[in-house]
Amino acid sequence: MRFLLALAACLLAAPTSWTLSLYGFNQVKYLENLDLKLAKSSDQQQQQLSPVILVPGDGGSRIDANLDKSAADFGCYRKTDQFYDIWLNKEQLAPWDIDCWSDNLRLVYNNVTRKTSNSPGVTIRFPGWGYSETVEWIDTSHAAVSAYYVNLANALVQNGYHRGVSIRGAPYDFRKAPNEDIHFPIKMRFLIEEAYIINNNTPVTLIVHSYGGPMTLNFLHQMSQEWKDKHIKRMISLAGAWGGSVKSMKVYTIGEDFSNTFVLSTPVKKMLTSTPSLAYLMPSPLFWKPDQVLISTASRSYTVNDYQAFYEGINHPEGWEMYKDVMPYIQDFSPPGVEVQCYYGSDVNTIERLDYGSSSDLTDTPTPVFGDGDGTVNLQSLEACQMWIGQQEQLVNATKYPKADHMGILANVDVLRDVVTLLAGGK
Ligand SMILES: *[C@@H]1O[C@H](CO)[C@@H](O)[C@H](O)[C@H]1NC(C)=O
Ligand SMILES: *[C@@H]1O[C@H](CO)[C@@H](O)[C@H](O)[C@H]1NC(C)=O
């Protein structure tokens, strides 16, 4: 037992085996001596910098929980007397704790109200609204393995930005989809207006990663063109998951071990499959053709037109209900009405199809077949932003960074330099 515990501690502590954030639990490397100070001419130094709001992806916000449950499984806490960090605290992912963790984080779907709520007896909050600290580091300890937006924030600080003033953060409930998270657009609007005012009426730059892309797009769809023209300078998307990803189907069928062989994938699967955001991130019918096979079994294949059968096959009828709830949001891919700088990786093996071989039972374990993408999101979803070219007056610039993976893009010096050049270089 003692040996096992030591081994466990070792595995959980080993940075190389540990990766973070659902939608690509791949690690963002913390760049220790990042020096991205750009040479500037003196007149550029005088100009007012566009304040930045960092919008994280799925798994990129911290979650605190407080428990007051009427029942809990053996070995799990029933009550806590204060909030504790449940996402992400890697100790809680140890095999002897992970079932408790999963049960506390899961959502419960009500098919009459068509809304989800927290696990009974669990109060959840998302700390740090408006500040960047909780989206720079996902773990309160600032363990290097929990680095998220920190490299980008450091690069901005080196070029005249200030945390809390011109670098802000927008953490949110990444378990939910826009149909439910009605507070997000309201809070975003006030945060943007505040950042605009305290930075001398300067239009704001939204930097979004992964699922933060679709969330922000939905927000922008709700705002008037007049408001956007006044308050938004541009949106910079990094690995935007615009059209979802086949990885979602992998999570539904196989689960997720966060690329750590020590983490049990079944409890993680139980938690993640209860979230509407996973349904929202299914491959979009706008970007996958009806003849593109997503799943092949001995008896048939499944495409974007077969999701009802897919959810039935995995015994998850609620998933189909959630999918129907989010469908209108998936189908609205009208342009955001602001300048878009859309940066994404490619040439990394990314799940393209799940192969069940000789089985026809979707509850069996499939073998992933790989194609092009950033390791998490398929290329056709990452480059979906190109569809807006010519659809809006504002610039849409899509730039591909070969080999930049889904999380690695936040530690990719070429990408960081391009972002900072755009922001600090007077463009
Ligand atoms: C809602 O869920 C209940 C319990 O799972 C089920 O019996 C019922 O058929 C569902 N109703 C609808 C409208 O899906
Ligand atoms: C498009 O993005 C690339 C990479 O950041 C940049 O070098 C280029 O200047 C951008 N083009 C425009 C027109 O903004």
CB of 399 closer than 6 A to ligand 2? yes
Closest CA to 268 of 256, 285, 250: 256
Q: How far is the CA of 111 from the centre of ligand 1 (A)?
A: 6
If we measure between CA atoms, which residue out of 69, 65, 55 comes closest to residue 134? 55
Q: Report the percent of the chain where pLDDT is more than 70.
A: 91
- Considering only 145-149, 272-276, 401-405, which range has the smallest mean pLDDT? 145-149
**How many Cβ atoms sit within 10 Å of the Cβ of residue 401?**
20
Q: Where are the beta strands (DSSP E) in 254-380?
A: 295-296, 301-302, 340-346, 350-355, 367-371
- Reduced to 3 states (helix: H, G, I; strand: E, B; else coil), residue 168 is strand
Scan for tokens 């070995």, then name that residue: 75
Mean pLDDT (whole number) for 7-15: 44
Return phi, psi of residue 238, to 5°: -115, 115
pLDDT digits (tens, 9 = 90+) for 333-343: 999 999 999 99
Catalytic residues: 210, 374, 406
C-alpha 103 chain-centroid distance: 21
Q: With b meaning 16 or more CB within 10 Å and e meaning fewer, what string describes 360-377?
A: eebeeebebeeeebbbbb
For ligand 2, what atom is nearest to the CA of residue 422? Answer: 5
Q: Which pLDDT tens digit goes with each residue over 93-122?
A: 888 889 999 999 999 999 999 999 999 999
Ligand sitting nearest the alpha carbon of 114: 1
pLDDT tens, position by position, 189-223: 999 999 999 999 999 999 999 999 999 999 999 99
Residue 275 in tokens: 């979230």
397 lines ligand 2 (CB under 6 A): yes
Ligand lying nearest the CA atom of residue 321: 1
How confident is the model over 37-49, as a mean pLDDT? 68
State the distance from the centre of ligand 1 to the C-alpha of 391, rounded, in angstroms. 42
Alpha helix positions (H), 199-342: 212-222, 225-231, 247-253, 265-272, 276-280, 307-313, 317-331
**Atom 13 of ligand 2, nearest CA residue:** 397
| pLDDT for position 342 | 98
Poorest-confidence range of 125-129, 186-190, 255-259, 354-358?
Answer: 255-259
